[in-house]
Structure 1
Amino acid sequence: MNVDELVRDALREQAAGPMPLPSGFADRVLAVRRRRRNRTIAGAAAVTALAVGLSVPALSGGGEDVRPASEMNKSDIIAHPHQSPPRDMIAAGDTALAAFYVRENDKQSNGDVISKRVYGLLDQKTGKYRKTRWAFLDVAPGMRTAAVLEDELPARRIGLLDMITGKVDRWIPVEHGVAGVAFSSDGEKLVATTYSKNPDRNFADHPQNINGKDVPGPLPSRTGFSVVDVDSGKEDWHRAPYWKDETGWSANARDDFEFSHDDQYVYADIPMDPGREYYDLEGNKTGIPAAEKHVSWAEAGLSPDGKLVGGDFAGDGDEISSEIVDSRTGKRITTVPGQQLLAWADNKRLIAWGCDPERCNGKNEFRNQLLLITIGSDKVVQLSDFRKASDDYPGRWVPLFTERRS
């Protein structure tokens, strides 16, 4: 294939897609590079970049090495407003959509129902989301590694998955069954939430009444959490049963732990004020850390610099907005045009569920898409199309974000 043919193919691929992606062109160049001399392909890559107005990273090294797609495309905003669920990588600022999932009910022969997660995980070789078989996963900062659990939960080992090869590099055995994992902000530790039963299974012999009908119900069985050193695999387990009120009632069966903003504590949500319970890494129950005193149930939490909190819904009437709070005082600073604040892109921008005012009237709370919102501005950037199901992902998808640093 000569240079002109390479350019024509690249342009044809660009026209077929919803919008240009530098990682796609880099993958083409890398694939051809394994069959051609470096000098020839370097010239082709340069011509292609000029033809389509994109920057292609310099080629270096040899063999089958592939740089992660998130490093090949370092654009500030990578949006696909015509994709839902997304097929190609979405990112904004320092944050990327590392994965998403939908739920699919799997009826068992004994009458139980397992609410399984069907994940789309970013394939760092192609920059696309690939359907996976894992029962649960979390993605480390940098998006090179995912911690994965096998079905059926609780699992007896944690896999460390290479997001370029799609293969598990190493398994970490655990003494207590694990059904949830979350990385620390430095990627060096995992908090693994332990259960005696599958928290995603509803049991026929433990029914709950919904709309006057008995259906299989949840059975809380959380036993505690383990702090796992990723490098050594060392596991320190601590007892921490699920929260119950004075009558013994629990809201649901799954209640996983996550690390605090500074990684010094772990926390889990509870269905009453103050909304979270915290433990130190030695397993001692503590009060709320001062830095997180005003963090709400909103997923965004503290801004990267710890000064602001992405707060709760604050809309009135037809208005869709959420509040931004001063982390020191708890006072509202402003509101932003988002329905549900999900993650910080940087200290001034957030990713949220919402609806661009130019595309809808805001009256349907279930018609939402991923938006990039800037504090102090009413302008939004559409990152995805409106949330809906597809043949591969039969349900409303739930995003999982992580830091996309190299």
Structure 2
Amino acid sequence: MREQAVELTAPGPGFADRVLAVRRRRRVRGLVAVAAAMTAVVAVAVGVPLPDSGKEDVRPASVLDGNDVLAHPDQSPPRDLIAAGRSVLAAYYTAEPVTRSDDEAVLTRTYRLLDPETGTYEKDDRWSFVAVAPGARTAAVLERELPARRIGILDLATGRVDRWITVDRGVGGLAYAHDGTRLVATTYGEHPDLMERMKSSSGAVAWVPQFGGHSSRSGFYVLDVADGRGDWSPVADRRDINGRQDFAFSRDGRLVYSQVIGGKDGLQQFHDLDGDTVPAPANERHLRSDVSARLSPDGKLAALGLTAEAKDTSWSGIRDPYTGEEVARVRGAHLLAWVDDRRLIAWERAPGPGEYRPRLVLVAIGSEKVVPLSGVREPDEAFETVEWEPVFVERRS
């Protein structure tokens, strides 16, 4: 859905027919997948080979801390902790439309959050939006009704909100700074996840997101996590953003950026902390806002988008962040998080024929080897649910 939103400013003729046709095909595949799952269940726990590591990592994987590889390729969505190197799957969510009227719905998320004590993912439907802090022990949360006028700081082990940060303007999205000390809270005049009903030529209907030009985004707060203090900065209206277009911090925390449609600089626009548009910093100029891995831990490599290498596999580019020159390639259709300076976690096409069926994998730059971390994420109803979406953060001692 994110890729559709980036590429389109408005759905073209016959769009609803295509959505409904995809939905029918996916229902059939879902029945086949269930039958297969009933006949073959494989449990893999802790000792998994690392791509090009030269040995197997067989250390116990019972705690959040450390650099162990924790894989559960039999689980999709996962029930037990998935992690590799510096990155941990801290949460994931699904989403589905909740109808407001005959012509309007809200895409509503349901989160499963990592319990750092048990290493399992637990459903918590109290929150409309969750941003997990580095370390995966606390999270910033928004209550169900958006835009929200307070931000909770949630203890992931106890499930209790330790304190609330009250704000004057409604907030719809949250993101932590790289060091975890600040939050950027994006403000909206109305719910940022509104959907509209689209009718096909046959009279059938489907819910689709509101595309470019419909955003009620007004600006952002930069808040100190420790004391909740901070300032709000207005941001000018734009026609090249979607309904939800949240801000996130640059690597050094001096700027914020968000996605734009058809932008010249990697689909991203940077702002200073007063809300004014500014050029991208030198080391993030060649990044793309729709590739979440972004810079490597040492800042020397940039994760880029998909490139077609062969019919049965997908590769993504790795570039020099300062020059934009491609220096390597890595397996994976979408690069999600860096494990270390040479390895990443990615969505990668599962083997076999048929449409795109991604699974989380561990990949290494320049290697064709992959280590499955999750089971295959089967497609769901087109535009009516979002298949489970991972939230990765850095795990720290």
The TM-score normalised by the length of structure 2 is 0.78
Q: Are positions 1:384 and 2:365 aligned together?
A: no
For 2:224 and 2:342, locate their aligned partners in 1 and report how far apart those are by CA, in whole Å.
32
Contact 1:355 1:371 in 2 (8 A): no
Q: CA deviation at 1:56?
A: 9.0
SS at match of 1:108: strand
Q: Are positions 1:328 and 2:343 aligned together?
A: no
For 2:235, give the aligned amino acid: A
Match of 2:171 among 172, 178, 201: 178
Contact 1:321 1:338 in 2 (8 A): yes
The change in CA–CA distance for 1:278 and 1:212 in structure 2 (over 3 A counts) is: farther
**Where does residue 221 of structure 1 map in the other structure?**
216
Contact 2:234 2:274 in 1 (8 A): no
For 1:338, give the aligned amino acid: G
Q: Are positions 1:137 and 2:162 aligned together?
A: no
The change in CA–CA distance for 1:17 and 1:380 in structure 2 (over 3 A counts) is: closer
**Where does residue 169 of structure 1 map in the other structure?**
162
For 1:80 and 1:194, locate their aligned partners in 2 and report how far apart those are by CA, in whole Å.
37
For 1:371 and 1:21, locate their aligned partners in 2 and report how far apart those are by CA, in whole Å.
14
**Where does residue 260 of structure 2 map in the other structure?**
270
**Where does residue 118 of structure 2 map in the other structure?**
126
* Count of residue correspondences: 334
**Where does residue 5 of structure 2 map in the other structure?**
none
- 1:66-104 per-position Cα deviation (integer Å, ceiling 9, x unaligned): xxx413xx3521110110000011001100111111111
Structure 2 unpaired stretches of 5+: 1-40, 48-57
**Where does residue 18 of structure 1 map in the other structure?**
43
**Where does residue 255 of structure 1 map in the other structure?**
245
For 1:278, give the aligned amino acid: F
**Where does residue 148 of structure 1 map in the other structure?**
141
Contact 2:107 2:194 in 1 (8 A): yes
For 1:291 and 1:208, locate their aligned partners in 2 and report how far apart those are by CA, in whole Å.
41
The change in CA–CA distance for 1:300 and 1:210 in structure 2 (over 3 A counts) is: farther
Match of 2:336 among 320, 334, 342: 342
Contact 2:222 2:230 in 1 (8 A): yes
Contact 2:187 2:221 in 1 (8 A): yes
Q: CA deviation at 1:378?
A: 1.3
Q: CA deviation at 1:230?
A: 0.7
The change in CA–CA distance for 1:220 and 1:254 in structure 2 (over 3 A counts) is: same
For 2:304 and 2:128, locate their aligned partners in 1 and report how far apart those are by CA, in whole Å.
30
**Where does residue 190 of structure 1 map in the other structure?**
183
The change in CA–CA distance for 1:258 and 1:337 in structure 2 (over 3 A counts) is: same
Higher helix share: 1
| Aligned ranges 1:6-405 → 2 under 5 Å | 18-20=43-45, 55=60, 69-71=63-65, 74-109=66-101, 111-133=103-125, 134-202=127-195, 218=210, 219-244=214-239, 250-272=240-262, 273-274=264-265, 275-296=267-288, 297-318=290-311, 319-355=313-349, 359-360=351-352, 364=355, 366-388=356-378, 395-405=386-396
Contact 1:303 1:310 in 2 (8 A): yes
- 1:266-299 per-position Cα deviation (integer Å, ceiling 9, x unaligned): 0001011221111122333211111111112322
Contact 2:46 2:60 in 1 (8 A): no
For 1:212 and 1:317, locate their aligned partners in 2 and report how far apart those are by CA, in whole Å.
37
Q: CA deviation at 1:333?
A: 1.0
For 1:198 and 1:316, locate their aligned partners in 2 and report how far apart those are by CA, in whole Å.
40
- 1:224-276 per-position Cα deviation (integer Å, ceiling 9, x unaligned): 010011111112100114421xxxxx452000000111111100010112211
For 1:174 and 1:95, locate their aligned partners in 2 and report how far apart those are by CA, in whole Å.
31
For 2:272 and 2:257, locate their aligned partners in 1 and report how far apart those are by CA, in whole Å.
9
**Where does residue 37 of structure 1 map in the other structure?**
none
- 1:31-51 per-position Cα deviation (integer Å, ceiling 9, x unaligned): xxxxxxxxxxxxxxxxxxxxx
Contact 2:358 2:378 in 1 (8 A): no
For 1:88, give the aligned amino acid: D
For 1:176 and 1:216, locate their aligned partners in 2 and report how far apart those are by CA, in whole Å.
27
For 2:187, give the aligned amino acid: T
For 2:220, give the aligned amino acid: F
Higher strand share: 2
The TM-score normalised by the length of structure 1 is 0.76
For 1:236, give the aligned amino acid: D
For 1:89 and 1:230, locate their aligned partners in 2 and report how far apart those are by CA, in whole Å.
26
For 1:179, give the aligned amino acid: G
For 1:220 and 1:354, locate their aligned partners in 2 and report how far apart those are by CA, in whole Å.
32
The change in CA–CA distance for 1:280 and 1:395 in structure 2 (over 3 A counts) is: closer
For 1:111 and 1:327, locate their aligned partners in 2 and report how far apart those are by CA, in whole Å.
44
**Where does residue 42 of structure 1 map in the other structure?**
none
Contact 1:100 1:400 in 2 (8 A): yes
For 1:211 and 1:229, locate their aligned partners in 2 and report how far apart those are by CA, in whole Å.
51
The sequence identity of aligned pairs, in percent, is: 43
Structure 1 unpaired stretches of 5+: 1-15, 23-52, 58-68, 245-249
Instruction: Give the aligned CA root-mean-square deviation in angstroms.
Output: 2.6
For 1:154 and 1:327, locate their aligned partners in 2 and report how far apart those are by CA, in whole Å.
35
Q: Which deviates the most, 145-154 or 323-332? A: 323-332
SS at match of 1:125: coil
